[in-house]
Each structure stands twice: as structure tokens, then as C-alpha cells.
A and B are shown apart, each in its own frame.
Chain A
């Protein structure tokens, strides 16, 4: 249960994601569900994703989170776009 998960708490978490030195992510989305907070977006490594969840849990222990953050793929392209 996350009874205190209101807009102010959401804003605090959003700022933590950007301003905390161990995170520094501006592309993480937050969606409040009935009993939890769903994290979305993509980051460059699994370590960064795990650190986001760890910091939210440490700073907001009463907030239940579901992490849907992905890792950006970094494969070579198979197509070229002709610009005209």
C-alpha cells in the first residue's frame, strides 16, 4: 500500500531521479497506479536501472514501485535513410 503517493510525492521522486548524483536521469516516467508507482523509460545500463529502484526505495520506503525501465539497445543499424 502507498497511501501517501500523491502529486507532491510524485514530484519529489521525479526531482530525485534527476538531481540525485547517483541517478541523473531526466527520461524516466512515473505513473501512479492504485497501490504502486510504475517506472518507465530507458537507461544505458542495468546498473543505472537498479540504482534508480534502490534510491527510490531508500528515500521513499513507503512507496511500492514496479520497474518497467528498459536498457537501450546498442546494435549496429541495418538501414540507411536517404535525405532529400
Chain B
């Protein structure tokens, strides 16, 4: 059994310091790892990254994150990643990590992702250079995610993104902005490997649960969606234990 805690869109800055700590102190008792689905900061500055590292570093379990669009706002994403890595946080962008947990290997592949929309209303690489670049960016990111997932050898495989791979977890957002919230190309990458769970954020007004066309469970863990410090998901389970009730 492996238990994963997950949240996204925590947007940490000075004013948030300490808000998550009471719940994070309980984390080692209820989960084996914490995955954070991007938008770690407000503007993607080094100062905010230090606040993020203070709030979510040293929580007693491995912490694995991807960046979100907010973390790119100041064009300091590399420095933001460096600050987080120095605090012991694993930052994924097109690469992977494997955690050894209770004799099981949990494999995680992560990318920020990007937009483009979903089947029936998706953008195409056609016309203006800007449009081709937009769609091409998502294609390249999805290709990296698929290759990373397929390259992992593990007992349970998790895909971590900021943007959504499916429209179901966007329900509640205006239809007009779906193309800016995710892309079916991410789902196609997730379905190209035996993925057990896909986690994303970004859609604050979205819904929690969905599935890819290939049947992989998808969870939108954006903080305003889950309305608590983190959710806990159990994989490879024979039975539920710990102090948490099964739902």
C-alpha cells in the first residue's frame, strides 16, 4: 500500500507562511509522499520560492512538485527550481523520480503541461506562427511526459501536471477558457503508459474527479477545489489502515 498526499495551487508568499504547517505536521502519519501540482508561488520569484521551501520543506516525507504558470510569471523558473531543490524538494519537468515506499516503487513523471483544448474543440498547429508555437509547445511537453512515463519501471505510476489532461475535471470553469486550462495531448501521453493516477491543478473552479479516454483516474487537486491542505490517495492497497476513513 502506498499513500500519496496531493495539492496544487498553493500560491505561497509571505502572507501564507504558517497556514499549511499544522496540517503538514500530521502528514507523516497519513501519507508516504506529498505531490504538489504547480502554482507553488504567486509570481514565480526567488523570494516566494524561499517562502514555498519554508512552508513545504522538511515535512517528514518526500515532496515532489511541478511548476505552474504562476511560477513562470517572473521568468525566474530555473532559480525557483534551484531554491526548491536546495530545500530537498524534487522538481520535475519532463523527468522522473522513483520513491521506495514500504517495499514498493512509486514512479512519478511530471511536467507543467500547457493548453490547447480537448477533442471536438482543440487548437491546431495551423496559420500564424504564434498559433503553431502555442500548439507545438504543448505537443513537445506531452511528448516529454509520455516518454518519461513509458521509461519508468515501478510498481505504481503517477503523472503529475499543472494543466489538466481531461475536460471532466474542469467542469465548473467557463467553457470558453477550457483551451487555456489543459490539453487532450497530456491525456494521450498518460494513456501511453500503465499510469495508475494522474494529478493536476490550475482549474480553481473545476471538479475533483475524471478519467482519461484510456480509463486512468484523474484528480484535480487545486487547493480551492479540494478545500483542505491536501488530499490523500491510496494506491496498491490491500486494505485501508491509518487513522483516515475510507471513502
Binding site for B on A (CB under 8 A): 21, 24, 26-27, 29, 41-42, 44-45, 47-48, 72-84
Contact = CB atoms under 8 A, between A and B. Distances in A.
A44 B19 contact: yes
Which 3 residue pairs are nearest across A and B when measured between Cβ atoms?
A27-B204, A76-B23, A80-B244
A72 B225 CA distance: 9
Contacts of A73: 227-228
28 contacts: A27-B224, A41-B204, A41-B224, A44-B11, A44-B12, A44-B15, A44-B16, A48-B15, A72-B224, A74-B22, A74-B23, A74-B223, A75-B229, A76-B26, A77-B229, A77-B232, A78-B244, A79-B232, A79-B244, A79-B247, A80-B233, A80-B234, A80-B245, A81-B232, A81-B247, A82-B240, A82-B246, A83-B235
B70 A80 contact: no
B22 A81 contact: no
Interface in B94-109: none
Nearest to A75: B228
Contacts of A82: 233-234, 237, 240, 246
A44 B217 contact: no
Contacts of A24: 42-43, 70, 73
Contacts, number: 95
Main secondary structure of the interface of A (DSSP, over half): loop
Nearest to B209: A81
B112 to A, nearest CB: 15
A80 B227 contact: no
Interface of B: 3, 10-12, 15-16, 19-20, 22-23, 26-27, 30, 42-43, 70, 73, 196-197, 204-205, 217, 223-224, 227-235, 237, 240, 242, 244-247
Contacts of B43: 21, 24
B233 A47 contact: no
Contact of A80 (B30, B204, B229): B30
Contact of B224 (A21, A42, A79, A84): A42
Nearest to A79: B247
Contact of B30 (A41, A44, A77): A77
A24 to B, nearest CB: 5
B240 A74 contact: no
B233 A81 contact: yes
A83 B217 contact: yes
Given A27-B204, A83-B234, 10 more contacts: A24-B42, A27-B205, A45-B16, A72-B224, A74-B19, A77-B244, A79-B247, A80-B232, A82-B234, A83-B217
A53 B230 CA distance: 28
Given A24-B73, A44-B11, A82-B246, A77 B240 contact: no
A27 B232 CA distance: 24
